[in-house]
């Protein structure tokens, strides 16, 4: 049975993926990271292990005559042509929650790095600048700050739990409100709309999927509702934020800083305006890719494929997307 990985791994990531392959299966990663190569390689695939941004569309599905199932390494579906896949009757499975700890830790790291101005101060210190008091008083503490979380799934709850240790005030909004017991356990206050949270938020952090209704939910209008000097962190999906409007807010000082792990276009291109600013932290969509999380993702994905091949569908029923 051939599992085709729809991106291109080399080095340690490729070694981790190969080590997770069950007996009786072979895995292949793309020789070239482009759509034409994906279509060529799909001809022999029994399973697709989907990561990266190459589209899984009608062209790929038509080539993949032996395809039994599609397994995502994570949970995002923006690269999947859902209607075409449903028409073909191909089941799709995801790895829900497998990298939640890693993303939550990355989120907290970015929040603290913004508050403590770590990139700027690290650069100054490397350059021999030693202005202890002058620089120290430009930093802020997390204790007592109001952190607004957009989305309260696996990652959102872990972030809320971590924030408790710092004495932050955590508010949230989601299409589904948490139970009273969960709100009490994590010290959460519910807001019934995104807009309502913005005027009271010192820090805004995204933990929701991208859908049509929330695309560019943070834009000029909603940024104008935020506190002067607030912080924005995004480890969810890049298109939740209008990057041009974010640039203006950061350049003008409306926002004190921001940190993005996910970007409107990935990978980012030459001329990316946000990269010109020194009050924004940019990371290359690595929040969910700690060593531990990546290994768990590959092992979990391969276990799902092996269970599907063996007909043990009840074991993976809760991981099926459609």
Query: Token pair of 120, please?
Result: 């700027």
Q: Which residues contact 31 (CB under 8 A, 6 or more apart)?
A: 8, 37, 41
Catalytic position from the list 5, 117, 237, 263: 237
- Nearest Cα to Cα of residue 203 among 296, 108, 319: 108
In the residue annotation, 237 being an active-site residue is answered as yes
Q: Tell me the longest C-alpha to C-alpha distance in the chain.
A: 67
| Residues, the chain | 322
- Nearest Cα to Cα of residue 234 among 171, 140, 159: 159
- Nearest Cα to Cα of residue 54 among 69, 42, 66: 42
Spatial separation of the C-alpha atoms in residues 67 and 45, rounded to whole Å: 6
The SS3 call for residue 77 is coil
DSSP string for 306-320: HHHHTT-GGGGGGGB
- The answer to whether the CB of 153 falls within 8 A of the CB of 136 is no
In the residue annotation, 285 being an active-site residue is answered as yes
Catalytic position from the list 32, 266, 276, 292: 266
Catalytic position from the list 216, 285, 315, 320: 285
Torsion sign over Cα 218, 220, 225, 229: positive
Angle between helices 100-115 and 291-309 (to 10 degrees): 160
Query: Token pair of 82, please?
Result: 């859902």
- The answer to whether the CB of 50 falls within 8 A of the CB of 77 is no
In the residue annotation, 78 being an active-site residue is answered as no
- Nearest Cα to Cα of residue 107 among 150, 155, 44: 155
Residues identified as active-site: 237, 266, 285
């Amino acid at each position: 049975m051939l599992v085709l990985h729809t991106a291109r791994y080399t080095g340690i990531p490729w070694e981790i993926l190969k080590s997770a392959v069950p007996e009786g299966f072979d895995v292949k990663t793309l020789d070239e990271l482009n759509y034409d190569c994906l279509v060529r390689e799909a001809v022999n695939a029994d399973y697709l292990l989907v990561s990266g941004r190459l589209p899984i569309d009608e062209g790929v599905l038509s080539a993949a005559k032996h395809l039994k199932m599609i397994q995502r390494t994570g949970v995002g579906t923006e690269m999947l042509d859902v209607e075409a896949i449903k028409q073909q009757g191909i089941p799709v499975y995801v790895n829900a929650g497998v990298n939640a700890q890693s993303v939550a830790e990355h989120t907290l790291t970015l929040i603290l790095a913004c508050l403590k101005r770590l990139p700027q101060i690290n650069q100054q210190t490397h350059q021999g600048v030693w202005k202890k008091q002058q620089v120290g008083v430009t930093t802020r503490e997390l204790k007592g700050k109001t952190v607004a979380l957009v989305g309260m799934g696996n990652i959102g709850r872990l972030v809320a739990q971590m924030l408790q240790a710092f004495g932050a005030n955590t508010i949230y909004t989601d299409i589904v409100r948490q139970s009273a017991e969960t709100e009490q356990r994590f010290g959460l206050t519910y807001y019934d709309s995104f807009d309502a949270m913005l005027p009271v938020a010192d820090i805004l952090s995204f933990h929701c999927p991208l859908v049509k209704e929330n695309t560019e939910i943070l834009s000029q209008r909603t940024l104008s509702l935020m506190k002067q000097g607030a912080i924005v962190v995004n480890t969810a999906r890049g298109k939740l934020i209008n990057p041009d409007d974010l640039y203006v807010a950061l350049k003008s000082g409306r926002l004190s800083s921001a940190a993005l792990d996910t970007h409107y276009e990935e990978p980012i291109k030459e001329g990316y305006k946000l990269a010109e600013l020194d009050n924004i932290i940019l990371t290359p969509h690595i929040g969910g890719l700690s060593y531990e999380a990546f290994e768990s993702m590959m092992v979990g994905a391969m276990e799902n494929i092996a269970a599907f091949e063996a007909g043990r569908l009840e074991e993976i029923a809760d991981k099926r997307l459609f």
